Structure 1
Amino acid sequence: MEQQRCAWANVSELDKEYHDNEWGVAIHDDNRLFEILSLEGAQAGLSWTTILKKREGYRQAFYGFDIDRVCQMTEHDIERLVINPEIVRHRGKIESVINNAQQLRIIQTEFGSVDAFFWRYVDNRQIVNHWQKMSELPSSTDLSKQISKDLKKRGFKFVGPTTVYAFMQAAGLVDDHLQHCPAKKKSA
């Protein structure tokens, strides 16, 4: 079969770049995992292209997703951000980033790192799926439902099963590149 990238990545150059170089690549840095979780939560109801276009704005607004700095953000910061056109100006989504940073700091204390917390769900090994068509990709799985439930129990916001599965794909806990995609790991 001819090699071609996953169909969702053909929307814009930004999507192609993200797909080819980031999506499905295993992330083990706590602040990057926080960024991905935050951006996936921001995407709820919107296109991923919209979020990619605003990613730099998010990085500036949330101090490069430095968990400790975001934990210190106040109501004043929220008021400033709800009028910032560089991000999605949804109060609940903005508040969730700060709330989730606070929850991640607790996780760092309990598990040693955000990385250890999330990667334990997959026994520290990427799940590699072997899909042939985009229609085979699930929007959520039993595992994403379990992680979502666990996160919600810990007080996280904007972490439904679909958002969590998108996070798992973006953070590389899952490789969902189609079998014929050039970005698919060759060892898989």
Structure 2
Amino acid sequence: MSVREKFDQIYARAVDRKGGESALESLLSHPLTPAELKAIPDDRWLAALTQKVFQSGMSWKVVRQKWDGFESVFFGFDIEKLLLVPNEMWERKATDPAIIRHLGKVMTIPENTYMIHRAAKEHGSFSAMVADWPSEDIIGLWKYLKTKGKRLGGNTGPYTLRVMGKDTFILSQDVEAYLRNTGVIDGGRDTQRSLTAAQAAFDAWQQESGRPLCQISQIIAFSGGDNRV
């Protein structure tokens, strides 16, 4: 049975664990405005998605150290240029020592290039689509990335959105554990039932607190567990 706490209770616990209100507030993210999101060039979205794909299961530090090589090898993630790259060239690029040589992950780049290009044709830009996506259906945006893109399921898509400034909660280990312990979710984390229940709980907390989803997610993580946000 779901026992959804009032947000004030969660917040008070996080304040206590983090040593005061000021200390907690200093740790919280601040999402971009829709106008700021729309100003992001689509090549930066492709770069961010690619970086998160490569960081999945790998050292984030190693990926960051190699990132200048990725930018060079993949033409600064210019969408129009990458649309013209033939399949055999993608395979050659996957062997370039300037990047992390992983054919499967390299081949996500053309797939995600096409996804961004298609969204741009429909919405004017990929950034515009993301900016206009309603927060009360953020799980719908997660699903879009997972089904229209490549290797963007799980937390890969949501973490990219968070990094780029789109307001989203994250089902980190701590947040998932909290939702399970309170009965908000009781099945597989990525099932539609669990995602819908999580979205409803976050919507309610947002109405109570007036805070963005990202801060609610972080405060839940800080309120218990190991603080994996």
TM-score, normalization by structure 1: 0.65
2:63 to 51, 59, 63: 51
SS at match of 2:99: coil
Is contact 2:145–2:157 with CA below 8 Å preserved after alignment? Answer: no
More helix by share: 2
Alpha-carbon distance between aligned partners in 1 of 2:158 and 2:45, rounded to the nearest angstrom: 13
Query: Which of structures 1 and 2 has the bigger CA Rg?
Result: 2
Change (3 A) 1:153 1:80: same
Quote how far apart the aligned CAs of 1:112 are. Answer: 0.6
1:118 is aligned, of 124, 127, 130, to 130
Please give the alpha-carbon distance, in whole angstroms, between the structure 2 residues aligned to 1:105 and 1:42: 21
| In 1: Cα distance, 2:50 partner to 2:140 partner | 19
Cα deviation for residue 83 of structure 1 reads 1.5
Letter in 2 for 1:149: K
Shift of residue 86 of structure 1? Answer: 2.2
- Counterparts of 2:133 and 2:93, CA distance in 1: 33
Partner Cα distance (2:146, 2:153) in 1: 8
Q: Which residue of 1 aligns with 2:146?
A: 152
Contact 1:99–1:157, Cα closer than 8 Å, also in 2 = yes
The number of aligned residues is 145
1:34 to 36, 46, 67: 46
Alpha-carbon distance between aligned partners in 2 of 1:42 and 1:117, rounded to the nearest angstrom = 24
| Percent identical | 24
Root-mean-square deviation (CA, aligned residues, Å) is: 2.9
Task: Kindly provide the CA deviation profile for residues 34-88 of structure 1, in whole angstroms up to 9, marking residues without a partner as x.
Answer: 2111111121111221221111111011100101111111223222222122222
Question: Does the C-alpha gap of structure 1 residues 82 and 114 become closer, same or farther in structure 2, counting only changes over 3 Å?
Answer: same
1:38-187 correspondence runs (5 A): 38-122=50-134, 143=138, 145-154=139-148, 156-174=149-167
Superposed CA offset, 1:123-177 (max 9, x none): 6xxxxxxxxxxxxxxxxxx83x4323223333x1010130011101210113569
Q: Secondary structure of 2:100's match? A: coil
**3-state SS, counterpart of residue 107 of structure 2:** helix
Contact 1:40 1:167 in 2 (8 A): yes
Amino acid at match of 1:167: T
Residue 188 of structure 2 corresponds to none
Q: Provide, for residues 75-124 of structure 1, a one-character-per-residue CA deviation record: whole Å limited to 9, x for no partner.
A: 2322222212222211111111011111211111111101111112246x
Contact 1:71-1:99 at 8 Å conserved across structures: no
Tell me which amino acid in the other structure corresponds to 1:54: K
- Relative to the length of structure 2, the TM-score reads 0.54
Point out where structure 2 has 5 or more consecutive residues left out of the alignment.
1-19, 168-213, 220-229
Q: CA 1:149–1:178 in 2, change beyond 3 Å: closer, same or farther?
A: closer
Distance 1:173 1:85, change over 3 A: same
For structure 1, the residue ranges without an aligned partner over 5 or more in a row are 7-18, 124-141, 180-188
SS of corresponding position for 1:84: coil
1:24 deviates by: 6.3
Are 2:119 and 2:129, in contact at CA under 8 Å, matched by a contact in 1?
yes
